[in-house]
């Protein structure tokens, strides 16, 4: 299939030596031949004893079997390993799918001499097809034998499905002489590629984080990263975001009131955002990376509703692709955001301001219910031509905000998604 644009927007995988190992985490991969031969499609992430794990999963009611098993195992105790396969999503597979996910966990647990419920399973790939458990079982020893603490780069590649680029992020911070490391990988190219469902993200730190803090942090980080991106509005059946704290480093966090905790938290969120944005930058057919930033809302929920109305509008997304500063479409989307949050049904259009921005330049395009008197089409057109664009809106009715990242809608999106499942 020929695509006009098969490159992510301003994104490249960090080199292997920029992905810092996390003490207590080892990663190994193998080619299990799940869907294609000679391709690494199986990843094992081993965690040191006493690691803490928190996760958020898809809200989709047709959630995949591994998601159900993850929820169950997380409730039961100490997690010692994650096993991730690509090729088959093990979704829409009923009882048989649950059995396959459990069998995978049991096989890995046996090799590692832990309990089956200490393993979390993840799958991504074609929906409605059975998981080839035997092939996975056969490849587990190889993945396990390959495990190493600097395996993040390799694992970032092994969890890819139709991503055009592997996604990883890492940073080491200094908290008054105490070093903390955070490293993560993610996959997903759009919310769903053709039948290649799933956004998966795995983020680990060597800090020791109390379980209640970790549980709260994973939700907060997801909210402002993976839950703030959209390519096409479709929510997959397998989406999972896992946050691991091995406690093998020097940092200890057991309450939220310290300045160090705030610094640590910000860094975790930033790594999650970097990965989330990489997914949008590698969005299906994306040629633009777009930040939709809403302010002046009464509630965060209504800010998010306006952000999504804009980010999901096919009319705005095609205008972004065409570099057309089509203001009417942006105003119209703000105006119908009441469909998403009824609280917006009393929005006063005359109080709304809209700006287009890029590279430090910001242009007021609309206020007082229509086009700004100072607005010149050439200013809007200049900004819309850039690869990184911010649509900023002030609703003029409060102080709550929301930010959503998205991409444009190009011919290639249709091409990719209309292409018969290959």
Neighbours of 212 (CB within 10 A): 12
Among 26, 157, 312, 397, contact with a copy of itself (rule: CB under 8 A): 312
Stretch that binds a copy of itself, among 5-13, 105-113, 243-251, 315-323 (CB under 8 A): 315-323
Reading the block at residue 258, the tokens are 């310290």
Nearer to a copy of itself, 141 or 370 (CB): 370
CA dist., res. 297 & res. 228, Å (int)? 17
In order, the DSSP letters of 168-237 are EEEEEEEETTEEEEEEEEEE-SSS-BTTB---EEEEEESSEE-HHHHHHHHHHHHHTTGGGEESSSPPPS
Contacts of 85 (CB under 8 A, 6+ apart): 32, 34, 41, 42, 43, 104, 122, 123, 124, 125, 131, 136
Task: Tell me which residues in 392-421 interact with a copy of itself (CB under 8 A).
Answer: 409-411, 413-415, 417-421
Residue 324 makes contact with a copy of itself by CB under 8 A: yes
Neighbours of 138 (CB within 10 A): 15
Residue 255 makes contact with a copy of itself by CB under 8 A: no
Least separation in angstroms between CB 389 and a copy of itself: 15
Nearer to a copy of itself, 245 or 297 (CB): 297
Q: Residues binding a copy of itself: what is the number (CB under 8 A)?
A: 68
Please compute, for residue 255, the number of CA atoms within 13 A of its CA located in the half-sphere on the CB side: 2
Stretch that binds a copy of itself, among 34-42, 216-224, 272-280, 345-353 (CB under 8 A): 345-353
CA dist., res. 54 & res. 119, Å (int)? 13
Q: What angle do helix axes 259-281 and 211-223 make, rounded to 10 degrees? A: 40
> Residue 269, SS3?
helix
Reading the block at residue 221, the tokens are 């980080």
Among 69, 79, 109, 127, contact with a copy of itself (rule: CB under 8 A): 127
Print the binding letters for residues 96-115 with a copy of itself: x by CB under 8 A, - otherwise. -x------------------
Residue 376 makes contact with a copy of itself by CB under 8 A: no
CA dist., res. 86 & res. 282, Å (int)? 18
Residue 350 makes contact with a copy of itself by CB under 8 A: yes
Residue 299 designated active-site: no
Residue 293 makes contact with a copy of itself by CB under 8 A: no
Going by the DSSP 8-state scheme, the letter that residue 150 receives in this structure is T
Residue 2 makes contact with a copy of itself by CB under 8 A: no
Reading the block at residue 109, the tokens are 């647990």
Task: Using alpha carbons only, give the angle 346, 350, 355 rounded to the nearest 5 degrees.
Answer: 110
Residue 338 makes contact with a copy of itself by CB under 8 A: yes
| Residue corresponding to tokens 């965690």 | 47
Nearer to a copy of itself, 359 or 369 (CB): 369
Residue 75 makes contact with a copy of itself by CB under 8 A: no
Among 347, 356, 402, 404, contact with a copy of itself (rule: CB under 8 A): 347
Residue 319 makes contact with a copy of itself by CB under 8 A: yes
Among 93, 123, 205, 390, contact with a copy of itself (rule: CB under 8 A): 93
Stretch that binds a copy of itself, among 73-81, 174-182, 256-264, 325-333 (CB under 8 A): 325-333
Residue 366 makes contact with a copy of itself by CB under 8 A: yes
Residues lying near a copy of itself in the complex (CB under 8 A): 59-63, 89, 91-94, 97, 126-128, 192, 194-195, 197, 232-237, 312-315, 318-319, 321-322, 324, 326-329, 331-336, 338-339, 344-345, 347-350, 352, 366, 368-371, 409-411, 413-415, 417-421
Query: Active-site residue numbers?
Result: 198
């Amino acid at each position: 299939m020929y695509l006009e644009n098969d490159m992510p927007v301003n994104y490249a995988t960090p080199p292997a030596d920029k992905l810092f190992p996390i003490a207590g985490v080892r990663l190994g991969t193998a080619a299990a031949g799940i869907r294609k031969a000679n391709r690494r499609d199986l990843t094992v992430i081993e965690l040191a004893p006493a690691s803490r794990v928190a996760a958020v999963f898809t809200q989709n009611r047709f959630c995949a079997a591994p998601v159900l098993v993850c929820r169950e195992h997380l409730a039961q105790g100490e997690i010692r390993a994650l096993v991730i396969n690509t090729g088959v999503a093990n979704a829409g597979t009923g009882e048989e799918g649950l059995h396959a996910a459990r069998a995978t966990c049991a096989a890995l647990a046996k090799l590692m001499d832990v309990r089956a419920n200490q393993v979390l399973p993840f799958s991504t790939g074609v929906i409605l097809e059975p998981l080839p458990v035997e092939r996975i079982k056969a490849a587990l020893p190889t993945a396990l034998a390959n495990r190493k603490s600097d395996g993040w780069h390799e694992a970032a590649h092994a969890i890819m499905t139709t991503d055009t680029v592997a996604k990883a992020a890492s940073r080491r911070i200094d908290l008054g002489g105490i070093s903390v490391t955070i490293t993560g990988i993610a996959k997903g190219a759009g919310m769903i590629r053709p039948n290649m469902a799933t956004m998966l993200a795995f983020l680990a730190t060597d800090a020791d984080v109390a379980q209640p803090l970790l549980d709260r942090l994973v939700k907060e980080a997801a909210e402002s990263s993976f839950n703030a991106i959209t390519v096409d509005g479709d929510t997959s059946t397998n989406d999972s975001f896992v946050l691991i704290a091995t406690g093998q480093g020097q940092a200890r966090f057991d309450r939220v009131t310290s300045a160090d905790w705030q610094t640590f938290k910000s860094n975790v969120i930033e790594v999650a955002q970097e990965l989330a944005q990489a997914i949008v930058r590698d969005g299906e057919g994306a040629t633009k990376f777009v930040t939709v930033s809403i302010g002046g809302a009464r509630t965060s929920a209504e800010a998010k509703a306006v952000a999504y109305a804009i980010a999901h509008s096919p009319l705005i997304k095609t205008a972004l692709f065409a570099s057309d500063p089509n203001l009417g479409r942006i105003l119209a989307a703000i105006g119908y955001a009441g469909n998403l949050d009824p609280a917006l049904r009393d929005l006063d259009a005359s109080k709304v301001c809209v700006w287009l921005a890029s590279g430090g330049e910001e242009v007021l395009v609309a206020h007082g219910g229509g086009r700004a008197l100072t607005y010149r089409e050439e200013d809007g057109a200049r900004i819309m031509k850039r690869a990184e664009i911010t649509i900023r809106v002030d609703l003029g009715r409060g102080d709550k905000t929301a930010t959503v990242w998205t991409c444009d809608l190009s011919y290639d999106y249709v091409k990719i998604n209309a292409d018969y499942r290959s």
